[in-house]
Amino acid sequence: MESMTTDALGPAIRRIRDEVHGVLGGLSEAPAEELESFLGAVADADRVFVHGAGRSGLALRMVAMRLMHLGLDVHVVGETTAPAIRPGDLLLTASGSGTTGGIVRAAQTAVSVGARVAAITTAAASPLAGLAHAVIVVPAAEKLDRSGAASAQYAGSLFEQSVVLLGDALFHALWQRSGATADEIWPRHANLE
């Protein structure tokens, strides 16, 4: 790898800042009913199961933690302590392509037992979006898009960054609705670190 000059990191930070700003700016202008449907799906769920692969899955784990801080009953799909999904539950997914096999199969299972699905994806016409009751379409590059048109970043980086920030926005909106103070939710923060 070539030696980096001292001015290489600054432009990279600005590029990522600008791309994230553009995506989130577009999402904040999405139809209110779409955003409210997504928020309502999480708020109304008996239990929330999060499922994503790779970096998208890691981003959803961050979302799961914050939802747990609010007092929601949250599970990460694939963990040994995750129970069976059932009617009244929500499967919260993230897949840039909306075609990731394990995530689509999990969504099919959720729907077949009467649970609901919420999806974050770049592909509105994907199988995952077709199964979802609530969808947020992120205008970012798909993992295999190396054209640089939607993002100069590598693979699905912009999508994964957006999942984290959407999760934080989701948490913040639900927290504000709850009326709980930071001191009231703090006791749910991990103390076995």
**Of how many residues is the chain composed?**
193
What are 155's two structure tokens? 């693979």
Bridge partners of 94, per DSSP, are 52, 120
Asked if residues 113 and 87 have their Cβ atoms less than 8 Å apart, the reply is yes
Set 2, 34, 160, 184: catalytic member: 160
Per the annotation, the verdict on 34 as an active-site residue is: no
Sequence-ordered list of residues with C-beta below 8 angstroms from that of 109, at least 6 positions apart, any chain: 85
User: Edge-to-edge strand order for the sheet containing 48-52?
Assistant: 74-76, 48-52, 90-94, 116-121, 134-137
Integer Cα distance of 165 and 167 in angstroms: 5
What are 108's two structure tokens? 């099919």
Residues recognised as catalytic: 160
